[in-house]
Amino acid sequence: MKTVLRWAIVYLFLLIGLTALGLYNHQLSTRLQALQTSEADLSRKETRLLLEQYRLVSPLALRQWAEANGYVPMSLAQWDNPRSGSVRPAPEGSAP
């Protein structure tokens, strides 16, 4: 009878240990899935922000912003702000 009782205790400890290990693995897989979802969301957000950045700093957008803020293109491809009072005349013989 003592042998059966010992094996029953060993069996119960193993069963409790396996149950605890299963619960731990389930928690880990739930956390991993949450992290993967978060990573996918962040990747989509990064892509959206990169596209927005390109849209805002594209040459055409910069030119439109400069013209809207009163910057005038000079003959040597320099931008000058006429409101600052530092407008330089174009060099002689340059195209308008």
Tokens 């060099």 sit on residue: 91
Round to whole Å and give the CA distance between 80 and 71: 6
Round to whole Å and give the CA distance between 66 and 63: 5
User: What is residue 64's three-state secondary structure?
Assistant: helix
pLDDT band (50, 70, 90) for residue 79: low
Tokens 């094996």 sit on residue: 7
Note the pLDDT tens digit of each residue in 40-76. 999 999 999 999 999 988 888 888 888 788 776 664 4
